[in-house]
Structure 1
Amino acid sequence: MRQFSYSRPTALSDAWDDFEHARYLAGGTNLVDLMKSDVERPNHVIDLNSLPLNKVEELPDGRLRLGALVTNADTAAHPLVTERYPLLASAILAGASPQIRNRATNGGNLNQRTRCHYFYDPDMACNKRSPGTGCSAKGGRNRIMAILGTSEACIATFPSDMCVALAALNATVTLAGSQGERSVAFRDYHRLPGDQPWQDNILLPGEIVTSIDLPALSFGPHYTYLKIRDRLSFAFAIVSVAVGLQMESDVIQKAHIALGGVGTKPWCVPEAEALLEGKTPSLSLFRDTAECLLRGAVTDRDNAAKLRLAPRVIMRALSQAADGTPQSQTYKSIS
């Protein structure tokens, strides 16, 4: 790890980045690893943990505001989250390990970098880490890489579980910086790689996430977070699906779906959600929805298996949500 200077502001107005090559620190579960691997080389680290961003608040219009510095563990265990947004709690509990969830923050979860092994290896070509050097994942060992939203410059998968649920829930992210405060739809927060894969999101220089707002909605028991991975804990998704259905008399009134493990960002297709609305659940409907969600997928050598697996996972998740039998994150077996 290289030398760096350090500051710990206590007010938002003092948090804006005035240093060249500065990085923000919250839980540190991603940044510190990247610094140890010599992937991130900040000259200055700004520790955000003294800022007043560590509360979960109920808003007057029924929305719920998650502070950026609330830990993933506290978010998943909060009574208002478990009662109103069990889909989010389930997705968080599916990710990482209890030790990491106790440190990782909501804001940090949004801004974590890809876990692509080529990105983590400074000796390998990676456009996301070193622009213009190429993408070693293309044609390489790429079983875990993305099949949706990729480009010639990058096929790295977005790693978060929590963000898949937030995308399904149509959350809103509040950002603050020297130019003021703004809110953006969560589905617009992360960028596709295009020809600038080093830009993971829409944050401006010196800007930070201050909160995440969850809309006032309820799925009752008609939700699930289904994650397929190589082992049952502390593993990133090969394919994951977050589903929430608003149902009335066995008819789907409104559908919320997002995919993880297959895209360069949490993957949502509004046309696929609209396909379900006003329909009675059926396997043929779920098959058509899966096809719509995966339209445009591009495989590269080893990750072609995801395109065979993903439709089955999507159909299973939709069946779980429609039947009101959400996937347990304690008992992970799927019959």
Structure 2
Amino acid sequence: MTPFAYHLARDPADALAALTAPGGNTPLGAASFLAGGTNLLDLMKENVARPMRLVDLNQLALARIEETPAGGLLLGALARNADTAYHPLVRSRYPLLSAAILAGASPQIRNMASNGGNLLQRTRCYYFYDTGTPCNKRSPGSGCAARGGLTRLHAILGASEHCIATHPSDMCVALAALEAVVHLRSARGERQLAFADFHRLPGDTPQHDNTMAADELITHIELPPARYAAHSAYLKLRDRASYAFALVSVAAALALDEGGRIVSARLALGGVAHKPWRQPEAEAVLAGKPPEAAHFAAAAAVLLAGARGESVNDFKIPMARRAIVRALEVAAAGTPGPACGEEER
């Protein structure tokens, strides 16, 4: 492991100053924020990330979960994933988010992982972690070893010739469907970024996972006033029942009128692209329709338009199509209650 300096930040201003202070950025690596460390420490152990300074954020007052004046919810960036998933307001108003978080990782990791860190986690592409293989995300311009390789977990949407990696988060899929807003802070001030604009597709610069500036800090994630508590579902298809990343995941949410027709819908996919995949055009297909399988299939066709596999992962396309229909059927029937074991932390 590359030697590094350590700084325990006192407040956000101190953290930002330490991030950009001289000596933290070298050809070996940039200074990094440390929260739960559940992804960063793995990357450091594998020599994929080599920060010269770690700025510990855990003393910052950014772990609260509280209501907003508009009736939404403000999630502190340092709130742990488990605390977020089990928070009474999250469970009652945003069960889709709770279900997505609880579908990810393991209880031990959820107890450590932070909300802000979840947004910033890196891909789990095998070739990204293997420093003996070329990877444009790890070493820009070196090539993409995944192409023609083991692509079972890789993208079917939004990929480029330079990268076919996927974003691994479950939480982010729900946040995309719920139209969250990310609050950022830097020495220049504060700004808010729509969740749809936070992560990016690889294009010709796959080393950039998101649109944050290098000197910014996530302080909060804001959820708009709840609309989909009664009819939402998170469906995750994976190789194992726990501690496995999604082959395909679906966050589905519906608002129904008194006659049972769909007023509005929200759909996002995980495990299929470099970012949570959402297309408002697919949601618009459902507006005003009865919640029936034929309409769900029509929405799936729009959401998956242009999907293309890499031979090994061609199965993801029909899998995603069926998963979208199934998730919407579950959501239409009513938000499921906690699954067996979810009450235990």
Query: TM-score, normalized by length of structure 1?
Result: 0.97
For structure 1, which segment, 46-55 or 66-75, has the greater mean C-alpha deviation from structure 2 after superposition? 46-55
Residue identity in the other structure for 1:71: R
Does the 8 A contact of 1:88 with 1:166 survive in 2? Answer: yes
1:319 to 312, 329, 345: 329
Q: Deviations over 1:125-146 (max 9, x none)?
A: 1000000000011110101101
2:126 to 114, 117, 122: 117
Match of 2:32 in 1: 23
Does the 8 A contact of 2:94 with 2:229 survive in 1? Answer: no
Identity %: 56
Alpha-carbon distance in structure 2 between the residues aligned to 1:149 and 1:330: 35
Match of 2:107 in 1: 98
The answer to whether structure 1 residue 69 and structure 2 residue 78 are counterparts is yes
Match of 1:227 in 2: 236
The answer to whether structure 1 residue 46 and structure 2 residue 85 are counterparts is no
Secondary structure of the structure 2 residue equivalent to 1:81:
helix
Structure 1 position 217, deviation (Å):
2.0
Secondary structure of the structure 2 residue equivalent to 1:15:
helix
The answer to whether structure 1 residue 295 and structure 2 residue 292 are counterparts is no
Does the 8 A contact of 2:105 with 2:242 survive in 1? Answer: yes
Does the 8 A contact of 1:146 with 1:264 survive in 2? Answer: yes
Map 1:188-227 onto structure 2 (within 5 A): 188-227=197-236
The answer to whether structure 1 residue 164 and structure 2 residue 173 are counterparts is yes
Gaps of 5+ in 1: none
Does the 8 A contact of 1:251 with 1:281 survive in 2? Answer: yes
Alpha-carbon distance in structure 1 between the residues aligned to 2:292 and 2:220: 38
Does the 8 A contact of 1:26 with 1:105 survive in 2? Answer: yes
Does the 8 A contact of 2:96 with 2:229 survive in 1? Answer: no
Q: Deviations over 1:246-267 (max 9, x none)?
A: 1012100010110001111000
Secondary structure of the structure 2 residue equivalent to 1:301:
coil
Alpha-carbon distance in structure 2 between the residues aligned to 1:252 and 1:88: 21
For structure 1, which segment, 215-224 or 266-275, has the greater mean C-alpha deviation from structure 2 after superposition? 215-224
Residue identity in the other structure for 1:302: V
Does the 8 A contact of 2:199 with 2:209 survive in 1? Answer: yes
Does the 8 A contact of 1:242 with 1:257 survive in 2? Answer: yes
The answer to whether structure 1 residue 151 and structure 2 residue 163 are counterparts is no
Secondary structure of the structure 1 residue equivalent to 2:184:
strand
Match of 1:13 in 2: 13
Does the 8 A contact of 1:226 with 1:240 survive in 2? Answer: yes
Structure 1 position 221, deviation (Å):
2.6
Q: Deviations over 1:206-235 (max 9, x none)?
A: 211100000002224311000000010000
The answer to whether structure 1 residue 133 and structure 2 residue 142 are counterparts is yes
Query: TM-score, normalized by length of structure 2?
Result: 0.94
Does the 8 A contact of 1:225 with 1:326 survive in 2? Answer: no
2:276 to 266, 270, 275: 266
Aligned length, in residue pairs: 332
Does the 8 A contact of 2:92 with 2:229 survive in 1? Answer: no
Match of 2:287 in 1: 277
Alpha-carbon distance in structure 2 between the residues aligned to 1:147 and 1:161: 17
Does the 8 A contact of 1:164 with 1:241 survive in 2? Answer: yes
Q: Deviations over 1:20-47 (max 9, x none)?
A: 1101110000000000000001111111
Residue identity in the other structure for 1:103: M
Alpha-carbon distance in structure 1 between the residues aligned to 2:100 and 2:84: 11
The answer to whether structure 1 residue 256 and structure 2 residue 266 are counterparts is yes
Alpha-carbon distance in structure 2 between the residues aligned to 1:281 and 1:218: 17
Does the 8 A contact of 1:93 with 1:329 survive in 2? Answer: no
Q: Deviations over 1:65-93 (max 9, x none)?
A: 00000000000011110110010000000
Residue identity in the other structure for 1:93: L
Does the 8 A contact of 1:64 with 1:213 survive in 2? Answer: yes
Gaps of 5+ in 2: none
Residue identity in the other structure for 1:11: D
Secondary structure of the structure 1 residue equivalent to 2:70:
coil
Structure 1 position 284, deviation (Å):
1.1
- C-alpha RMSD over aligned residues: 1.2
The verdict on how the C-alpha distance between 1:327 and 1:239 changes in structure 2, with shifts beyond 3 A counting, is farther
Residue identity in the other structure for 2:294: S
Alpha-carbon distance in structure 1 between the residues aligned to 2:289 and 2:341: 31
Does the 8 A contact of 2:252 with 2:267 survive in 1? Answer: yes
The verdict on how the C-alpha distance between 1:328 and 1:263 changes in structure 2, with shifts beyond 3 A counting, is farther
